[in-house]
Structure 1
């Protein structure tokens, strides 16, 4: 059942919980575009690990109110507010794809409450020194990021038609991904269950607005509002070496700056390989 959590008496966030009510609390932050509904590990996995899995729609997605001008760092306030509403003193955070930079923001800005953090197929900040940011990136993502750098109007105009097609047919974006997918990702997305979860996720994300997708894009190409060198909690970075949506060098760059980070680069995996390793990552963050 979805719970609406009010933030500062100004807006609401839509929150779901799964697994053991008294288990280890873990926030799972969704991708871009994405929502609280997935893709998620199987219920049996969540229960076996003794995890209380918490997901929510980032502002502007699904049933959550928009937060105009949000930065990546602003996620820390929202996660802390949800944790307060659920009476949680401490918790772990996992972020996948577009959720990964947000998970790292929580690690940097909520050190007193975080136990562990994991970022799967993350981007690096746009000002990442020494990183060729677009090298190895699919043309569709290059266009999205460069358009977002031009401002809200251009990126809204770019994404609105795609969002409209998804609202008309939630399966629209899934086959569209095939044009840019490397072979490892094609193998993952070929699974009927994965494609069904992705379609459900996209439909919920964009059910009434393109705002969340637009605001994510704007946040990623703007200053993030935190320094990864300030992260002190145990942190895992996972990336497939064939990723074309967020190239692997982004995680390597992050790994050189986050003190003590564990960096796992999986040969022969790509962006959607993060879905396959999610149960193992969930087990890792739940260890403490």
Structure 2
């Protein structure tokens, strides 16, 4: 499991799929790690893609960082891309990883070729999006916005530790949950706080082609929030995932990888 370190900041990452394939940086969700399902690696190899999965700050062995906004992500990822000698690459974001892909499009427009988003999170810091969620979720967003980040970290650590304690060793979600609990859940805590702030870039200015896939029956991120994002990004295309739920279906993953490989 390689790591990249620069200026005392470490990012853990893994490569999957075709080592010689087109590079795609994968951005995991709120629950995540540098690991990936073996099936994703197989599909990536078939599509001649090299998936580079990065554990964002605080997850796994990546350094916990205090970030002011999601917009800072481009400056954090760029040195890693340089070290891998990647002048051009694409990005795929899953759920809470979507805003970080948009940040790359804003900060690295000359290097980012395409963006694919699966069940992506919208701008929950804006009332137009937040009010589309159930009241319970809206209350959680308010708590994340008002509480110190240390308290939000503690909230996620306590919530995730309960699930981890009862999860079988061979469960496919065990590593993502373990890496999310790392550093006292610094990763999910930071994510939840940043989601409530301004991203520090405008979606309307993005020039990288963006394609989204989302289920109308997504039980965690409402489909209508994806419609708002797609309407604000010039030329963005929103595809409906026919399968219900928040987890990307295999046909949706295949479609996204094929799009990125084209």
TM-score computed with the length of structure 2 as normaliser: 0.91
Structure 1 position 207, deviation (Å): 3.6
SS of 1:105's equivalent?
helix
Whether 1:24 and 2:22 are equivalent positions in the alignment is yes
Look up the match of 2:49: 51
Does residue 231 of structure 2 align to residue 256 of structure 1? yes
Structure-2 residue corresponding to 1:33: 31
The 2-side partners of 1:132 and 1:208 are apart by: 30
Query: Secondary structure of the equivalent of 1:273?
Result: coil
Partner residue, 2:5? 6
Contact in 1 for aligned 2:13/2:54 (Cα 8 Å): yes
How far did 1:244 drift? 2.5
C-alpha deviation, 1:147, in angstroms: 1.4
Structure 1 range deviating more: 218-227 or 196-205 = 196-205
Shift of 1:11: 1.3
- Paired residue for 1:84? 82
Is 1:163 aligned to 2:160, yes or no? yes
- CA shift, 1:286, in A, is 1.6
- The answer to whether the Cα contact below 8 Å between 1:137 and 1:247 also exists between their aligned partners in 2 is no
SS in 1 for 2:204: helix
Distance in 2 separating the partners of 1:239 and 1:100: 12
Change (3 A) 1:118 1:111: same
1:273 corresponds, among 242, 248, 255, to 248
Cα 1:153–1:22 shift into 2, 3 Å: closer
Which shifted more, 43-52 or 151-160? 151-160
Aligned to 1:192: none
Structure 1 residue aligned with 2:221: 246
What is the total number of aligned residue pairs between the two structures? 261
Tell me the distance in 1 between the aligned counterparts of 2:135 and 2:258. Answer: 31
Q: How does 1:1-288 map to 2 (within 5 A)?
A: 2-7=1-6, 9-39=7-37, 41-128=39-126, 131-137=128-134, 139=136, 141-151=137-147, 152-170=149-167, 196-274=171-249, 276-287=251-262
Spell out, residue by residue over 1:25-67, the C-alpha distance to the aligned partner (whole angstroms, 9 max, x if none): 0111101021111346433222111111101110001110011
Is the Cα contact below 8 Å between 1:26 and 1:51 reproduced in 2? yes
Paired with 1:208 and 1:128, the residues of 2 have a C-alpha distance of 29
Cα-Cα RMSD: 2.2
Looking at structure 2, the residues matched to 148 and 14 of structure 1 have their Cα atoms a distance apart, in angstroms, of: 26
Q: Using a 3 Å threshold, how does the CA distance of structure 1 residues 127 and 166 change in structure 2: closer, same or farther?
A: closer
Rate the CA distance shift 1:75–1:171 in 2: closer, same or farther, 3 A: farther
CA deviation string 1:57-105 (max 9, x = no partner): 1000111001113421122122212111101000000000010111111
Q: Which moved more, 1:278-287 or 1:214-223?
A: 278-287
Distance in 1 of aligned mates of 2:243 and 2:42: 27
What are the ranges of 5 or more consecutive residues in structure 2 without an aligned counterpart? none
